[in-house]
Amino acid sequence: MYTFPKDFWWGAATSAPQTEGASLSVGKTATTWDYWFEQQPELFYDQVGPTDTSMLYTHYKEDCKRMKEIGFNSYRTSISWARLLPDGKTLNPEAVAFYREYFEAIHQENIEPVINLFHFDMPMWLMEKGGWEARESIDAFGFYAQTAFECFGDLVSYWTTFNEPLVHVECGYLYGYHYPAIVDFKKAIQVGYHTLLAHAKAVEAFRRVLPNKKIGIILNITPSYAKSAQADDQKAAQISNLFNTKSFLDPAVFGHVPDGLPDLLMQHELLPNTKETDRELLAKGIVDFIGLNYYHPRRVQAPLAPNMPAKMPEDLYAAYDWPEKVINPYRGWEIYPEAIYDVAIMMRDEYRNIPWFVSENGMGVADEERFLHDQELDDTYRIEFMKTHLAYLHKGISEGSHCFGYHAWTFIDCWSWLNAYKNRYGFYRVDLKTQERILKKSGQWFKQVSQQNGFEEE
């Protein structure tokens, strides 16, 4: 029997832009996703945009009951910045009423709400001023964070500032998957730097407004494994971890950027614009806990013909196609549960064993209606994916890593950016035409795991 610690969090994660719907109504203004879909709907799978979600805005009461029905004791979602503060300054009373009722409904089911502030949904009014490229984004985010703390602090004890901040950096400024779809390594570094400062600004406000509650940050973790023991491959893995793990994790845990990163950026003419007071602000960004989203590892090797200075991350570390990999063919990601154990030990040994939880883990599959029979969807593959990851997580916990929870991605099939509903991840299937929710086999299994606080080894 894999038994987890007492009061372990069992639940799932999602976000406001991926579930709420009502994307340009009841006072909410456009985000970059609303704007991009309006301008280029052909980029979105089946031309399904942010208005076509699981419509939680009108279904949240029933959905909260569904959370309880499959054993959740905790649940993470986010607040929409563009809904709460449509122009960045003026409070939207309809948003305040909605979120308060939503969070109260979560509490009524004895579920702990974990509320995140930013999940890739940049308000268009700020994007028009430069978004995270602009220095004023730091104070704008700080004001938004403080407003949220003041409006909902009596209902929410656990907060996070950002979900996967590295994603809006690389997808928006290196690889074209998020608006503004710019390819510019130096701008990407500047965006990442301002995001770090915005995080610290929010934590600073949190300590003033809610000193007796907890705040963290949600980071995507892709442990880097080198092709070989050769020095150049090992160096590539070290640089990859510096950019993809330590760049946000070190400031959140220690209050400063990781050693070696400024020198590397200077070497490649990538240093961001800074101010003398930034170091002091970053030191205020230390969190109470960390959420880590884990889906797949990163395999790297030394680049064969790198540019100098680097034009892209691939000039610093190149992808390596490990021949023994197991792949989820729908997403193209390697399935490697062993890495979650390595992450647990890393948190124990390198990050002062700060409390942390698996804030996302899951498997996306396309055309899941193939497995729908008699109003039940048999997603045994998802159960096996979670079982193997939980087994390795349990091993890390048994060896002293301070992990206090596991959240799957996701509760109900949700809209997923350019991919829309191509791949489904939820414990419940959603019919986009009728909004009917259908429980999957994985949801039934998860309820048993939560009730037992673990599962039996087979």
Active-site amino acid positions: 164, 360
Q: Rounded to an integer, what distance in angstroms lies between the CA atom of residue 223 and that of residue 342? A: 8
